[in-house]
Structure 1
Amino acid sequence: MGKLAFRNSLSTILVLFLTLSTSLHAWAQTSGILLSDDQGKTIYAKNPNKPFIPASTLKILTSLAAIKTLGPDFHFQTWAYYDKTTCDLYLKGFGDPFFVSEEINKFARQISDHLFKQVSKGPISSAVIRNIIVDQTYFTPQVAIPGAGSSTNPYDATNGALCANFNTIFLKWDSRSRQYISAEKQTPFPDILAQQIRPGSKKTERILLSYNLRQHYPGILMYYFLKAAGVEISGTVQEGLFAGSDKNCIVYTSSYSLADIVKKLIKFSNNFIANQLMLTMGASTYGPPATLEKGTAVLNKFAEEVIGLKDVAIVEGSGLSRRNHMTPAQMRKILIAFIPWYEFLKRDGNEFYKTGTLSDVRSRAGFIRGKDNRLYPFVIMLNQTNTGYDSIRRMLKEKVSKASRPLSP
């Protein structure tokens, strides 16, 4: 080999070595990994005490705080009040994240049954409603969630005290009628909506409603379902203050328990649901209206006083914001506290997990069940690099396999 060729070869090797060294250094600095047993004894750790962006793995903490604060058997309520003098129907929401078409239809039948019973007993002469008035005041208006965008995509859905179908509508193009129709049999698409919604393409898609339409949407669906139940409505849907009280209102209790909601929150990694729970906890703890500050105060206080985390930074409840920070060791404490509800997590073989993804952020947290049937909490937090994600998972599973021993027969 000539001197020039040798020098070129040596230069190439040196460049490759420097590149690999730089990559390994970057990986070491931007990754946090932790594996322990169910008592918190560390089996493997890399940067366990360095803060990272948790992304959607933060939903595990939000879920745990909701279970502890509100209770797994908690059911959201929505109120209605019929004013016999004005014939107006008032609706008031308290943050139910699953106030979906099926629930609204059930509530409409509860209201219509109440009205028809009042007619039969004499207090009112006919089941007639003038206006439907929606009260959104349990939440402060237009709560701005850090990290959320302003697009019409469902993941940017905004929060509110009374929201229908996650503030979205699912439509499809009907080539026969050459117009959009509802893609869900249980959800109507009244003309008042058709006049205001202009999807961008002729395909099936779920879109986020405009802010003003979101405020009225629960009342619009209630209007439709009440008319279908035989109630006459002469007016419109409006915003206003609830005229009734807890003593004289019609109470609808959600079919979904908080445990049901948390399962769906984790399964679909729904940002809207996570922040609805955060805001509801804030209003429940500090009084209405719900605000971002009250909600995050509950989460940060819960993290510090109940889980024992110091210097954790939580600015919203879903993991959307890059300003959320916690260490792998802190996430391990959250996981150990979450063990009674580990089956709420997604499952892949012997792994129960929650993932999180943002631009240049990839995270995963959960449990690996060992051959001894114990749960081994693990945390993977990769910031600024996705290098080695799958190999890290394989490595952790191998370590659990070696650390665990089958139970004796």
Structure 2
Amino acid sequence: MKNKIKLYILVLFLTLSTSLPAWAQTSGILLCDDQGKTIYAKNPDKPLIPASTLKIVTSLAAIRTLGPDFHFQTWAYYDKTTCDLYLKGFGDPLFVSEEITRFAHQISSDLFKKVSEGQISSVVIRNIIVDQTYFTPQITIPGAGSSTNPYDATNGALCANFNTIFLKWDNRSRQYISAEKQTPFPDILAQQITPGSKKTDRILLSYDLRQNYPGILMHYFLKASGVEITGSIQKGIFAGSDKNCIVYTSGYSLADIVKKLLEFSNNFIANQLMLTMGACIYGPPATLAKGAAVLNKFAEETIGLRGVTIVEGSGLSRRNQVTPAQMREILIAFMPWYEFLKKNGNEFYKTGTLSDVRSRAGFIRGRDNRLYPFVIMLNQSRTGYDAIRRMLKAKVSTASRPLNP
């Protein structure tokens, strides 16, 4: 009789398990209060693909490792003997046209000052030599494609404008021109870029062009500042040192960068931060292995998580594995910077989407003004996503309702 009862229970369990909705078997959901006390949980310890919610981990690691007030630097060195100008990058993800313009003015001002002090006879640059060696070359991010779509922008030590250029068709001149007034489209680029059929198109530059693009823009802005340039753009090794170079400090703090990373879910920025942390902790050149090691070590030793798998910093890879309970601990640690997340009503959040993967993580502000961390991770099916969000918000509303006197 006992064996029949056990068999019945087993059959009943299997029937209930297989009759659950698909999303319930491949999902993890968790809601807690600001002290980590669970209000609702489903599969909290199930390893799942976080998609772009992983960027919260990368952001938190960067803030803790580099500091919110950290500013990236880019170096320049003028060799008075050869008249060559050297540029060296250290992974600045926001080395955009406006920043390069300011750096060019800093360089030209320094050169004109040297002329006035008699250190050099004239403001002439022969070659502009770009040093990319702080990162190992051609880093491949797991999960990233190899298309010319800006979504697949590659990483490097010295990248200008995310390794892209934004063009538009000009009917008057019957040619493509820059779609951004702050970014030129020099002939050297026009000769090598063939846009698609779109009237406006943001183009990911070829690998060779990416290496020299910062130098091409610097060449343009230096000439606009009155500097004569007689040579070409080349790749090479920085000839100066931290003692005799011109240091440009980015106008963006790390806090500014993280806000943009989370607002636009920028894969390029996320992995630039990961790679930079790897070089800072383990020494240059930056590699994927060093960057991933920093994130995994941070998750284990700083947050206290075991069994997390992080292979890159943006959430592009399906090999990334995090449980909802682990993401809860990450959110609690991220709480001081919750306002860096996108806001919609009383919700601060980061979403993540891959094929058949949908995730969302962040905080719901309750009626008591407390923050309630939540995690939604749906793998293999997106069914029930909106219903889950409504359910979690209703639970927060109930949990945060003031008690009757």
State the distance in 1 between where 2:160 and 2:38 align. Answer: 45
State the distance in 1 between where 2:374 and 2:367 align. Answer: 16
Q: Within the alignment, does 1:255 sit opposite 2:251 as a pair?
A: yes
Q: 1:349 to 1:163 in 2, by over 3 A?
A: same
> What is the aligned partner in structure 1 of residue 189 from structure 2?
193
> What is the aligned partner in structure 1 of residue 170 from structure 2?
174
2:375 aligns with one of 370, 375, 379: 379
Judge which range, 197-206 or 90-99, deviates more. Answer: 197-206
> What is the aligned partner in structure 1 of residue 112 from structure 2?
116
> What is the aligned partner in structure 2 of residue 206 from structure 1?
202
C-alpha deviation, 1:406, in angstroms: 4.2
2:260 aligns with one of 257, 264, 281: 264
Q: Within the alignment, does 1:52 sit opposite 2:16 as a pair?
A: no
State the distance in 2 between where 1:408 and 1:298 align. Answer: 49
Alignment of 1:120-131 (within 5 A): 120-131=116-127
C-alpha deviation, 1:70, in angstroms: 0.2
| Contact 1:58–1:319, Cα closer than 8 Å, also in 2 | yes
Q: Is the partner of 1:205 in helix, strand or coil?
A: strand
C-alpha deviation, 1:405, in angstroms: 2.7
1:227 aligns with one of 211, 223, 226: 223
> What is the aligned partner in structure 1 of residue 307 from structure 2?
311
Matched AA of 1:260: D
> What is the aligned partner in structure 1 of residue 79 from structure 2?
83
State the distance in 2 between where 1:407 and 1:81 align. Answer: 66
Q: Within the alignment, does 1:289 sit opposite 2:252 as a pair?
A: no
1:399 aligns with one of 375, 389, 395: 395
2:128 aligns with one of 132, 136, 145: 132
TM-score, structure 1 length as denominator?
A: 0.94
C-alpha deviation, 1:26, in angstroms: 1.9
1:100 aligns with one of 90, 96, 102: 96
4+ residue runs over 6 A deviation: none
> What is the aligned partner in structure 1 of residue 295 from structure 2?
299
| Contact 1:373–1:407, Cα closer than 8 Å, also in 2 | no
State the superposition RMSD in angstroms. Answer: 1.5
Q: Could you list the per-position Cα deviations for residues 338-367 of structure 1 after superposition, in whole angstroms to 9, with x for gaps in the alignment? A: 000000000000000000000000000000
The number of aligned residues is 391
Q: Could you list the per-position Cα deviations for residues 136-195 of structure 1 after superposition, in whole angstroms to 9, with x for gaps in the alignment? A: 000000011000000011110000000000000000011111110000000000000000
Q: 1:334 to 1:21 in 2, by over 3 A?
A: closer
| Contact 1:148–1:320, Cα closer than 8 Å, also in 2 | yes
State the distance in 2 between where 1:102 and 1:209 align. Answer: 19
Name stretches of at least 5 consecutive residues in structure 2 with no aligned partner. Answer: 1-15
C-alpha deviation, 1:207, in angstroms: 1.1
State the distance in 2 between where 1:362 and 1:298 align. Answer: 26
Q: Within the alignment, does 1:31 sit opposite 2:23 as a pair?
A: no
State the distance in 1 between where 2:122 and 2:213 align. Answer: 26
Q: Could you list the per-position Cα deviations for residues 52-74 of structure 1 after superposition, in whole angstroms to 9, with x for gaps in the alignment? A: 00000000000000000000000
Name stretches of at least 5 consecutive residues in structure 1 with no aligned partner. Answer: 1-19
State the distance in 2 between where 1:272 and 1:340 align. Answer: 24
1:362 aligns with one of 355, 358, 362: 358
State the distance in 1 between where 2:143 and 2:235 align. Answer: 28
Q: 1:127 to 1:46 in 2, by over 3 A?
A: same
> What is the aligned partner in structure 1 of residue 11 from structure 2?
none
C-alpha deviation, 1:23, in angstroms: 6.8
Q: Is the partner of 2:74 in helix, strand or coil?
A: strand
| Contact 1:371–1:407, Cα closer than 8 Å, also in 2 | no
State the distance in 1 between where 2:204 and 2:183 align. Answer: 15
> What is the aligned partner in structure 2 of residue 345 from structure 1?
341
Q: Within the alignment, does 1:241 sit opposite 2:250 as a pair?
A: no
Q: Could you list the per-position Cα deviations for residues 284-310 of structure 1 after superposition, in whole angstroms to 9, with x for gaps in the alignment? A: 000000000000000000000001110
Tell me the percent identity.
86
Matched AA of 1:378: F
C-alpha deviation, 1:27, in angstroms: 1.9
Q: 1:177 to 1:282 in 2, by over 3 A?
A: same
> What is the aligned partner in structure 2 of residue 143 from structure 1?
139
> What is the aligned partner in structure 1 of residue 8 from structure 2?
none
